[in-house]
């Protein structure tokens, strides 16, 4: 193709335009699974374990079974007879182990909130009433809560058969870290503590399954990001054929990775529907969402960086530990986040010396797995925090130290110390653009003036890299039946309109919009004539779905190729009708035209009329093909890495520790943006999820493994009043792998937001005349404990507070156990 | 069961409800008005926001029996009447919604602010919408859309 997609006539690629499916959502006409009601439908409520770890001695549901509206009560043992257990491991994560997990706990519950008994009733309220009359006799077992304790030698394993609580361990040693440390003028060590948080999709998880005994077929309506994966897994564990399972996703009320996993409740609902032969609906209430949706993060990372006085970063080193709950989540596992932390740390800097270890350990808490920007915020906060500390140690401006060490924009392709490969990034161009957007001198002036008035304001930066467009290296090579390729079928309807069926899914990113845009462009039709079908395994090609920022880059490319193929077919037919040749014709705005002068020759509606209703008027040997299907998977690179940089401007009230976000900037490079409006909003939404992690969100547990803030009043999420405006800019480095050149944009905002907030806070200490001169800049724990968090910053005895906030005591204990870490010392100046 | 009589989007509805039934469950399950969504069911997220006798309320904190004799307006009614057509279009143009689950509640809360007239500051808009949780957008685009609508209405005044 000689023209790039954006150069084509009538291109919609690169154009900011509204999404076609929004009007009905603004009018309350969305069709979410939680809205769905089917004839004869039963509601299921799960009685959940109140203990983090307990043996199930007996279950007495005799009284509940007689209650009004109750249709059936099912225990774990009964359900296990029709739904086989699963083990969440991947072959390429060497040594990863887990235990068999059942849809309902059998004999033993391993986290507070694990489903134990299913109650099916005519209404949810009646099922809840009955749940209160079920008597489960538990024998409490000692819970394993703290990750370090779980990993310690001699710790009692949660699953005796596994031998210990180490689910996965990975070590990496590139270059020569010891020699690099010896050659450094400063070696700085810092512990980073990241709280456990969760996705809090506004629509909680919802599923309706309907087993039709006559057809021997299960129809599953589920708010999922990966319908074909769900189809495969439900079929496998119910021992039926994939063809007997149809999965539809409908509108999905937020996902962010939360809805890409297979949950015990999903499998239970599918199995229960088969058991009772009626539709069964589960719509999680918010309280159970907090203890059953996957959690994320929960890392403690001991990091080390070396730097010379001239500003050369000599090495990075990390020792990471993360607690994942009692099971590795199926089928994507719970080791991917830690694995990505190892892959990503230091990856934006041309530093060949890197040593890393991560340990993934079992504990009796809600299972942890992949949530938006998997591993990225951890890696970015550690990397960028260390870089800021290094800059402080040598007295160099934080921007200047980055300039001297970020990969040069002409360094590509190249391979980072961890082994990840980059096709083309733009760290320096992005930094330049960011600085231009921010007007740093003006900010510095404002900062100084504010300081003179006793107000402490800080500026923080965080450069990042982002994994997008994953190929089979992510899951397929590990043995998971999760498609890395996607497909699209494009059809010219009899009136000249176009229908596209794509295997990616929509959860609000704008998947339907971008599929319409690339298809309209590829064929040459007005976008109003394109209708998109997503999220139905009966009516879309086989594919992966929408996750890991792959929808546009992989699904979009498949639709583009399908559109080009259809265009080719249309031109063949048009050439026959017009007695012209393929090369002399083009399709623009739904009309076949002369390529040379744009003269209109044939409406596509007329072409369709002839092809469908009067094929007798076409040459005898011409069979028209007005539908084309193409699939696509990237092959040159395992991932399409993107990059960007963020900055935060904030104010700390040193009396209360309260942080006020004043401004936020992002420059990101997602390759060719298909719809810049949607990219900007992906970035902004991602930033706010990252800010939530930095300032508000934490799943707090007591020492018995009880989540103590499992509701929206106590688990804080960012609301409009606390969030700043967010300015987004772009640098465009298209991938050469695909025709459309798109990479992903979904993780970028979340990847760097917390890091630049933390750096802005510690940056305050560097402001001339600042009262804030802590011995230990408190980069973490994240989230900062509100109202007193940054007291850590102003205190010379970091974390030495009294008060009820357990975030403080967590941090204190983490600091206290530092002696056990192989990484020692902070600000060890040589 | 308790008999109630409620005006919903201009139609008078008489129904028998359990005293424990929340207004939002009554609207969704009995009347099929699924535009009001369940986000938290404890009054924090704002997804179930509807108007009762002219004031915005959380449908999960009001019992259906409390609405007896009242006038309930939902996103469906406000869409049909055209009352917020400009605000809805501003949300569409600005991509001020992604998954759309918060949107009906967000629109009704925003309209509550806009009905007072004038052009509120961005801070005032953010403050007014602080009872409505949106996980997708980061709020910036929502504030833009509300601000744009306020300016348009003020200019047309």
- Token look-up 């156990």 returns A817
Quick one: A86 and A176 in the same domain? no
With an 8 Å Cβ cutoff, are B38 and A713 in contact?
Answer: no
C-alpha distance from B138 to closest chain A C-alpha (Å)? 4
**Chain A residues with CB inside 8 Å of B83's CB?**
none
**Chain A residues with CB inside 8 Å of B28's CB?**
35
With CA atoms as reference, the chain B residue closest to A204 would be B39
Please report whether residue A156 resides in a domain: no
- For chain B, positions 17-76, list CB contacts with chain A under 8 A: 18, 20, 28-29, 33-42, 44-45, 47, 74-76
Which residues pair with residue A306 across a beta bridge? A187, A315
Q: Is A816's pLDDT higher than 50?
A: no
Q: What is the DSSP string of B20-89?
A: T-BHHHIIIIIS--TTS--S-SSSSS-TTEEEETTEEEETTTSBGGGGTT-EEE-HHHHHHHTTTHHHHH
For residues A483 and A787, the answer to whether their CB atoms sit within 8 Å is no
Give A182's contacts (C-beta < 8 A, 6+ positions apart): none
Q: Is A54's pLDDT higher than 50?
A: yes
Average confidence (pLDDT) over A270-281: 98
- Token look-up 């401007």 returns A649
Listed by start position, the domains of chain B span 2-78, 84-156
Last-in-domain residue among A262, A292, A322: A292
With an 8 Å Cβ cutoff, are B39 and A510 in contact?
Answer: no
Quick one: A190 and A212 in the same domain? no
A414-415/A354-361 β-pairing: unpaired
Of A448-457, A529-538, A805-814, give the lowest mean pLDDT range. Answer: A805-814
Matching CATH number, B2-78, of 1.20.1250.20, 3.10.20.30, 3.30.420.40, 3.50.50.60: 3.10.20.30
**Chain A residues with CB inside 8 Å of B92's CB?**
18-19, 22-23, 26
- Vertex A757 angle, CA A754 and A762, to 5°: 125
Please report whether residue A155 resides in a domain: no
Please report whether residue A498 resides in a domain: yes
**Chain B residues with CB inside 8 Å of A721's CB?**
123, 126-127, 129-130
For residues A688 and A723, the answer to whether their CB atoms sit within 8 Å is yes
Average confidence (pLDDT) over A21-33: 97
Calpha distance B96→A677 (Å, rounded): 10
With an 8 Å Cβ cutoff, are A286 and B42 in contact?
Answer: yes
Average confidence (pLDDT) over A790-798: 36
- For chain A, positions 705-764, list CB contacts with chain B under 8 A: 711-713, 717-723, 725-726, 749
Give the residue from A373, A265, A238 showing the smallest Cα distance to A689: A373
- Residue A543's domain spans which residues? 5-30+485-632
Would you place residue A333 in the very low, low, confident or very high pLDDT band (cuts 50, 70, 90)?
Answer: very high
Which residues pair with residue A587 across a beta bridge? A592
Last-in-domain residue among A573, A600, A632: A632
User: What is the H or E stretch that residue A300 is in?
Assistant: strand A295-307
Q: What's the mean per-residue pLDDT of chain A?
A: 91
Please report whether residue A277 resides in a domain: yes
Calpha distance A672→A659 (Å, rounded): 36
Q: Is B80's pLDDT higher than 70?
A: yes
State the pLDDT at residue A818: 28
Quick one: A726 and A790 in the same domain? yes
State the pLDDT at residue A782: 67
Q: Is A718's pLDDT higher than 70?
A: yes
CATH assignment at residue A194: 3.30.365.10
Q: Which of A26, A712, A720 is facing B129, going by the closest CB pair? A: A720
Average confidence (pLDDT) over A729-739: 97
Domain count, chain A: 3
State the pLDDT at residue A255: 97
C-alpha distance from B156 to closest chain A C-alpha (Å)? 23
Neighbour order of strands in the sheet with A313-323: A166-174, A354-361, A313-323, A295-307, A186-198, A828-829
State the pLDDT at residue A653: 82
Which residues pair with residue A684 across a beta bridge? none
Q: Is A800's pLDDT higher than 50?
A: no
Calpha distance A50→A400 (Å, rounded): 53
Last-in-domain residue among A292, A316, A338: A292
For residues A203 and A258, the answer to whether their CB atoms sit within 8 Å is no
Please report whether residue A826 resides in a domain: no
Calpha distance B101→B131 (Å, rounded): 15
C-alpha distance from B116 to closest chain A C-alpha (Å)? 19
For residues B92 and B145, the answer to whether their CB atoms sit within 8 Å is no
Q: Which of B75, B92, B132 is facing A23, going by the closest CB pair? A: B92
Quick one: A76 and A10 in the same domain? no
Say if domain B84-156 classifies as CATH 3.40.50.1980.
Answer: no
With an 8 Å Cβ cutoff, are A22 and B107 in contact?
Answer: no
State the pLDDT at residue A805: 29
Quick one: A185 and A213 in the same domain? no
Q: Is A656's pLDDT higher than 80?
A: no
Calpha distance A476→A456 (Å, rounded): 50
Of A395-399, A474-478, A572-576, give the lowest mean pLDDT range. Answer: A474-478
Average confidence (pLDDT) over A655-674: 92
Burial of B13 (0-12, 13-18, 19+ CB in 10 A): middle
pLDDT tens-digit readout, A552-610:
999 999 999 999 999 999 999 999 999 999 999 999 999 999 999 999 999 999 999 99
State the pLDDT at residue A799: 26
Quick one: A717 and A657 in the same domain? yes
pLDDT tens-digit readout, A167-188:
999 999 999 999 999 999 999 9
Q: What is the DSSP string of A458-483?
A: EEEEEEEEEEES--TTTTGGGT----
Please report whether residue A160 resides in a domain: no
With an 8 Å Cβ cutoff, are A726 and B47 in contact?
Answer: no
CATH assignment at residue A55: 3.90.1170.50
Quick one: A128 and A266 in the same domain? yes
Quick one: A652 and A790 in the same domain? yes
Give the residue from B29, B10, B133 showing the smallest Cα distance to A692: B133
- For chain A, positions 662-681, list CB contacts with chain B under 8 A: 677-678, 681
Which residues pair with residue A385 across a beta bridge? none
Quick one: A183 and A283 in the same domain? no
Calpha distance A40→A273 (Å, rounded): 11
Please report whether residue A692 resides in a domain: yes
Quick one: A224 and A321 in the same domain? no
- For chain B, positions 103-132, list CB contacts with chain A under 8 A: 103-104, 107, 122-123, 125-127, 129-132
State the pLDDT at residue A657: 75
Would you place residue B39 in the very low, low, confident or very high pLDDT band (cuts 50, 70, 90)?
Answer: very high
Structure tokens at A301: 């990372």
Q: Is A795's pLDDT higher than 60?
A: no
Average confidence (pLDDT) over A628-645: 97
Quick one: A531 and A506 in the same domain? yes
pLDDT tens-digit readout, B112-139:
999 999 999 999 999 999 999 999 999 9
State the pLDDT at residue A412: 98
Beta strands, E only, A382-533: 414-415, 421-422, 456-468, 486-492, 498-502, 530-533
Quick one: A623 and A671 in the same domain? no
Neighbour order of strands in the sheet with A600-603: A585-588, A591-594, A600-603
State the pLDDT at residue A821: 27
């Amino acid at each position: 193709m000689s023209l790039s997609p954006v150069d084509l006539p009538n291109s919609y690629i690169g154009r900011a335009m509204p999404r076609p499916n929004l009007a009905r959502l603004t009018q309350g006409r969305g069709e979410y699974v939680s809205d769905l009601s089917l004839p004869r439908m039963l509601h299921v409520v799960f009685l959940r374990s109140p203990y983090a770890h307990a043996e199930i001695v007996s279950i007495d549901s005799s009284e509940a079974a007689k209650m009004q509206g109750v249709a059936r009560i099912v225990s774990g043992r009964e359900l296990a007879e029709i739904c086989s257990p699963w083990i969440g491991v991947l072959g390429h994560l060497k040594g990863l182990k887990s235990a068999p997990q059942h849809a309902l706990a059998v004999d033993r519950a391993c986290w507070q909130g694990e489903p134990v008994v299913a109650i099916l009733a005519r209404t949810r309220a009646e099922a809840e009433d009955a749940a209160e009359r079920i008597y489960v006799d538990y024998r409490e077992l000692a819970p394993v809560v703290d990750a370090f304790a779980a990993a310690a030698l001699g710790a009692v394993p949660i699953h005796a058969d596994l031998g210990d609580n180490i689910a996965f361990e990975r070590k990496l040693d590139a270059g020569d870290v010891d020699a690099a440390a010896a050659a450094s003028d400063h070696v700085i060590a810092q512990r980073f503590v990241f709280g456990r948080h969760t996705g809090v999709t506004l629509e909680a998880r919802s599923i309706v399954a309907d087993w039709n005994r006559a057809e021997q077929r299960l129809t599953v309506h589920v708010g999922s990001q990966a319908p074909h994966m769900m189809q495969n897994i439900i079929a496998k564990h119910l021992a039926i054929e994939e063809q007997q399972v149809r999965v539809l996703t409908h509108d999905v009320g937020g996902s962010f990775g939360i809805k890409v996993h297979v949950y015990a409740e999903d499998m239970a609902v599918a199995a229960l529907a088969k058991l009772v032969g009626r539709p069964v609906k589960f719509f999680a209430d918010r309280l159970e969402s907090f203890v059953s949706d996957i959690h994320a993060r929960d890392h403690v990372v001991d990091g080390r960086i070396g730097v010379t006085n001239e500003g050369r970063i000599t090495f990075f080193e990390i020792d990471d530990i993360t607690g994942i709950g009692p099971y590795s989540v199926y089928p994507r596992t719970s080791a991917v986040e830690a694995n990505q932390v190892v892959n990503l740390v230091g990856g934006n800097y041309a530093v060949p010396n890197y040593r890393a270890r991560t340990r993934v350990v079992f504990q009796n808490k809600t299972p942890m797995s992949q949530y938006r920007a998997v591993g990225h915020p951890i890696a970015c906060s550690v990397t960028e925090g260390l870089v800021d500390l290094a800059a402080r140690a040598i007295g160099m401006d934080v921007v200047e130290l980055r300039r001297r060490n970020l990969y040069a924009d002409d360094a590509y392709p190249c391979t980072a110390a961890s082994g990840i490969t980059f096709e083309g990034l733009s760290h320096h161009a992005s930094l330049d653009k960011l600085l231009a957007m921010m007007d740093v001198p003006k900010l510095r002036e404002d900062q100084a003036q504010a300081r003179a008035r006793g107000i402490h304001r800080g500026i923080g930066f965080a450069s990042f890299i982002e994994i997008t467009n994953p190929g089979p290296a992510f899951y397929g090579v590990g043995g998971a039946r999760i498609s890395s390729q996607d497909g699209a079928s494009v059809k010219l309807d009899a009136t000249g309109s176009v229908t596209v069926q794509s295997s990616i899914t929509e959860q609000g990113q704008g998947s339907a919009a971008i599929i319409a845009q690339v298809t309209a462009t590829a064929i040459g039709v007005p976008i109003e004539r394109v209708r998109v079908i997503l999220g139905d395994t009966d009516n879309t090609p086989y594919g992966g779905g929408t996750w890991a920022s792959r929808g546009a880059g992989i699904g979009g490319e498949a639709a583009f190729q399908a559109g080009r193929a259809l265009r080719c077919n249309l031109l063949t037919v048009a050439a026959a009708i017009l007695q012209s040749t393929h090369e002399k014709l083009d399709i623009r705005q739904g009309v076949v035209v002369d390529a040379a002068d744009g003269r209109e020759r044939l409406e596509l509606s007329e072409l369709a009329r002839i092809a469908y209703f009067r094929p007798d008027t076409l040459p005898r040997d011409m069979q028209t093909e007005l539908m084309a299907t193409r699939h696509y998977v990237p092959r040159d690179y395992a991932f399409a890495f993107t990059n960007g940089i963020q900055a935060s401007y904030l104010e700390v009230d040193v009396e209360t520790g309260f942080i006020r976000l004043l401004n936020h900037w992002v420059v990101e490079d997602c390759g060719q943006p298909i719809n810049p409006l949607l990219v900007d909003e992906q970035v902004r939404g991602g930033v706010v999820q990252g800010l939530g992690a930095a300032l508000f969100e934490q799943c707090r547990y007591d020492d018995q493994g009880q989540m103590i803030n499992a509701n929206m009043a106590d688990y804080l999420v960012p609301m409009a009043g606390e969030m700043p405006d967010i300015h987004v800019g772009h640098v465009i480095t298209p991938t050469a792998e695909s025709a459309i050149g798109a990479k992903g944009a979904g993780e970028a905002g979340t990847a760097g937001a917390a890091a630049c907030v933390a750096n802005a806070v510690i940056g305050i200490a560097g402001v001339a005349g600042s009262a804030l001169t802590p011995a230990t800049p408190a980069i973490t724990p994240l989230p900062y404990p509100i109202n007193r968090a940054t007291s850590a910053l102003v205190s010379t005895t970091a974390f030495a507070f009294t008060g009820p906030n357990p975030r403080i005591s967590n941090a204190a204990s983490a600091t206290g156990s530092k002696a056990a870490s192989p990484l020692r010392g902070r600000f060890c100046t040589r | 069961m308790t008999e109630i009589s409620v005006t919903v989007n201009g139609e008078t509805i008489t129904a028998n409800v359990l005293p424990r039934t929340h207004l939002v469950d009554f609207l969704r399950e009995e009347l099929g008005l699924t535009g009001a969504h369940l986000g938290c069911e404890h009054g924090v997220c704002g997804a179930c926001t509807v108007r009762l006798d002219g004031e915005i309320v959380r449908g999960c904190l009001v019992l259906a029996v409390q609405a007896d004799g009242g006038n309930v307006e939902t996103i469906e009614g406000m869409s049909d009447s055209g009352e917020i057509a400009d605000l809805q279009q501003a949300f569409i143009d600005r991509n001020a919604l992604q998954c759309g689950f918060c949107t009906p509640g967000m629109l009704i809360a925003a309209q509550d602010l806009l009905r007072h007239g004038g052009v509120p500051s961005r801070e005032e808009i953010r403050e007014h919408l602080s009872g409505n949780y949106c996980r997708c957008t980061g709020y910036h685009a929502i504030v833009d859309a509300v601000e744009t609508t306020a300016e348009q209405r003020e200019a047309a005044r």
